[in-house]
Copies of this chain bind each other. A is one copy, B any other.
Amino acid sequence: MNETLTLLHAHRSIRKFTDQALADGQLERIIGAGQCAATSSFLQGATIIRVSKPESRQKLATYAGNQPYVANAAEFLVFCADLRRAGNCCEQYEKPFSGDYTEHFIIATVDAALLAQNIVVAAESEGLGICYIGGLRNNPREVSDLLQLPQGVYPVFGLCLGYPDQNPEVKPRLPLEVILKQETYNDEGDAALIESYDEKIREYYRTRTGGGHGICWSEQVASLLSEKARPHMRGFLAEQGFHFK
């Protein structure tokens, strides 16, 4: 396994960071490398807001459902799907702007995710730890107001960055055969594979929390998907100009 593969295998979310700041220019170097990720139709439909002010960070930590590392991490970035920049281009060339299709939403959301993941790899290659913060979508209106996000822009997720002050175990992923199918989607043999994976995850939680909840993957996912999921998102996105036409 080469160095990069070893790096990818070492990923785990970090939720406790040291006080060490990033070096001058380090964040720019990391984002510059991440920016080389592919982008759909060359749109580059993502914008990052770097939030440094302690009072803003504190607010974001609260909006995200009281996640203290949002306030404490050396850096906090908000990844936004951005069609406003494209809208400006339409204006410049006196063309109508049609950015309210479901397709546009997909393009810009995927662009934000590809950019973020490339930045994560860059950051981890320099010894930093990261944690994605989907919790920003708990209160997307408040987040957007704080960051003054205009029409055509929405916060997809946040990202904490900093030097790790903990060393959590890598969390096992689903067996490869479950997520990789040949020729067609066929999940016939998956139940047995997931059953033994569930046992592995129970063990992971037992070890990690020292005799903790021992819940398995399937049960977690069943809980997650049986509840209403941020039902405000649709209305919020419409306010921001995403209409899912």
B-binding residues in A (CB < 8 A): 1-5, 7-11, 13, 28-44, 46-53, 56, 80, 83-90, 92-93, 95-99, 101-104, 106-107, 109-110, 113-118, 120-122, 125-126, 130, 132, 134, 137, 146-150, 153, 156-157, 170-171, 173-174, 176, 178-187, 190-191, 217-231, 233-234, 237, 244-245
Are B8 and A52 in touch, CB under 8 angstroms? no
Cross-chain contact of A109 among B48, B95, B109 (Cβ < 8 A): B109
Q: How far is the CA of A63 from the CA of B235 in the complex (A)?
A: 33
* Complex copy number for this chain: 2
Q: Which residue of B lies closest to A224 (CB)?
A: B41
Interfacial chain B residues near A97, Cβ < 8 Å: 225-226
Nearest to A77 among chain B residues (CB) is: B180
Residues of B within 8 A of A126 (CB): 2, 5
A117 to chain B: which residues have CB within 8 Å? 37-38, 113-114, 117-118
Q: Once the chains bind, are A9 and B38 in contact (CB under 8 Å)?
A: no
